[in-house]
């Protein structure tokens, strides 16, 4: 969810298949991840191979119920066996907006979960807004974490959305700002909110955009980690919830919650330009969009839950689905998947009238037959 800001009139860039990188470049030595790893983690589960019957590989995964506390058990968040495999796939899920008490979007998540399982990616990254009303309903965070357990992926990393931790305390949004307590509730369930890991010569970096200008101690820690991680000798991909800009890095939108604020935007984009960052993948706006600025691909992942039509000024396409990133050496491509069983839920009405609609609906009982 986000709040409308001023109209933008830049051209659309929809469903462009990206191919970047230098063909034939050698894969660089994978260096240790700059985040500390938790040694007390259980073994990872096997993911079914593409085309494999789920009966064998996934019987144990399918039978298992979500943990009562809904916490992601640390393995797939915190432990990662580095690999020199140079052909691999990353599935990007975003904006699942899950809740057991308000399960508007559970059907779509479950369809996407099955589609993800069939693709058998090496890594799944979730770019935020996992919960429906996480800042005020920790049980939604619990439920979202329990559903990530059901993905059956060998490695899952998560960055937070505003519906998980709230907006930066510096945001103009008057509702659901990130506090230390809200951030801590997220960390306890999903692990670090900023991180880096290496795979196949690539380095992947996740950042929490709500730490920007937050004044929290972790703001400086995140920037230091990012700067350190970007010193990688090889291609880099960045994941975050909020896009750094809508259409141009220098656009004037200081008051919007749709993008990163101009100050940290300028700072981080300069870091990216000075490094070998090939793409920045984000969620938040519930649109499928690609654009390239300063040689970096900015990829908006669609929501698995719902879209907003009627905001064509944002560019891209309103659709429900998820992304698959395929890597081969230092090249990559991005493909949008729209499983046929998804319900194309359109919340365009939520953008009309007053901005309390989300809170009213979140506080009402779910309408059941």
Least Cα distance to 77 among 167, 187, 168, 3 occurs for 187
The residue among 162 and 256 lying less far from Fe ion, judged by its C-beta, is 162
The residue among 203 and 284 lying less far from Fe ion, judged by its C-beta, is 284
CB 211, min distance to Fe ion, A: 15
The whole-angstrom separation of Cα 113 and Cα 150 is 8
CB 2, min distance to Fe ion, A: 6
Residue 46: exposed, middle, or buried by beta-carbon count in 10 A (0-12, 13-18, 19+)? middle
The residue among 5 and 44 lying less far from Fe ion, judged by its C-beta, is 5
CB 283, min distance to Fe ion, A: 6
The residue among 2 and 197 lying less far from Fe ion, judged by its C-beta, is 2
Contact status, residue 109 vs residue 98, Cβ threshold 8 Å: yes
CB 4, min distance to Fe ion, A: 13
184-223 burial, b at 16+ Cβ within 10 Å, e below that, comes to ebbeebbbbbbbbbbbbbbbbbbbbbbbbbbebebbeebb
CB 299, min distance to Fe ion, A: 16
CB 224, min distance to Fe ion, A: 25
Q: Which residues contact 176 (CB under 8 A, 6 or more apart)?
A: 135, 136, 162, 163, 166, 167
237: left (phi over 0), alpha (psi -120 to 50) or beta: beta
The residue among 308 and 327 lying less far from Fe ion, judged by its C-beta, is 308
The residue among 35 and 126 lying less far from Fe ion, judged by its C-beta, is 126
- Using CA of residue 275, residue 254, residue 285, residue 193, what is the dihedral sign? positive
CB 265, min distance to Fe ion, A: 16
The residue among 72 and 131 lying less far from Fe ion, judged by its C-beta, is 131
Contact status, residue 79 vs residue 42, Cβ threshold 8 Å: no
Partners of 202 in the β-ladder: 199
Look at residue 221 and give its three-state secondary structure.
helix
- Count of CB atoms within 10 A of residue 84's CB? 11
Binding site for Fe ion (CB under 5 A): 95, 129, 161-162, 284
CB 257, min distance to Fe ion, A: 8
Angle between helix 180-190 and 138-149 (nearest 10): 20
The residue among 162 and 176 lying less far from Fe ion, judged by its C-beta, is 162
């Amino acid at each position: 969810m986000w709040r409308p800001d001023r109209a933008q009139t830049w051209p659309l860039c929809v469903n462009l298949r990206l191919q970047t990188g230098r063909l034939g470049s050698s894969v660089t030595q994978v260096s240790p991840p700059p985040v500390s790893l938790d040694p007390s983690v259980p073994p990872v589960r096997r993911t079914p191979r593409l085309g494999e019957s789920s009966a064998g590989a996934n019987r144990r995964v399918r039978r298992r119920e979500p943990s009562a506390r809904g916490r992601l058990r640390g393995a797939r968040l915190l432990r990662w066996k580095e690999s020199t495999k140079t052909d691999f796939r990353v599935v990007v899920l975003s904006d699942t907006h899950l809740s057991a008490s308000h399960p508007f979007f559970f059907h779509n998540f479950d369809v996407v979960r099955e589609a993800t399982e069939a693709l058998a990616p090496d890594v799944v990254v979730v770019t935020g807004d996992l919960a429906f009303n996480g800042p005020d309903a920790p049980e939604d965070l619990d439920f979202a974490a329990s559903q990530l357990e059901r993905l059956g992926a060998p490695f899952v990393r998560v960055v937070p959305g505003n519906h998980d931790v709230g907006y930066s305390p510096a945001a103009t949004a008057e509702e659901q700002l990130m506090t230390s307590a809200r951030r801590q509730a997220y960390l306890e369930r999903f692990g670090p909110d900023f991180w880096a890991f290496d795979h196949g010569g690539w380095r992947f970096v996740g950042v929490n955009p709500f730490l920007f200008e937050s004044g929290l101690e972790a703001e400086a820690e995140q920037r230091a980690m990012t700067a350190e991680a970007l010193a990688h000798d090889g291609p880099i991909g960045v994941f975050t919830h909020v896009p750094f800009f809508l259409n141009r890095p220098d656009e004037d939108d200081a008051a919007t919650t749709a993008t990163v604020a101009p100050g940290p935007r300028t700072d981080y984009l300069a870091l990216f330009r000075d490094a070998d960052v090939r793409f920045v993948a984000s969620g938040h706006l519930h649109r499928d969009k690609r654009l390239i600025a300063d040689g970096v691909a900015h990829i908006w992942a669609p929501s698995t839950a719902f879209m907003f039509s009627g905001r064509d000024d944002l560019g891209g396409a309103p659709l429900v689905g998820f992304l698959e990133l395929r890597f081969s050496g230092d090249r990559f491509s991005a493909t949008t998947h729209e499983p046929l069983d998804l319900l194309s839920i359109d919340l365009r009405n939520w953008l009309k009238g007053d901005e309390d609609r989300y809170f009213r609906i979140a506080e009402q009982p779910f309408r059941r037959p």
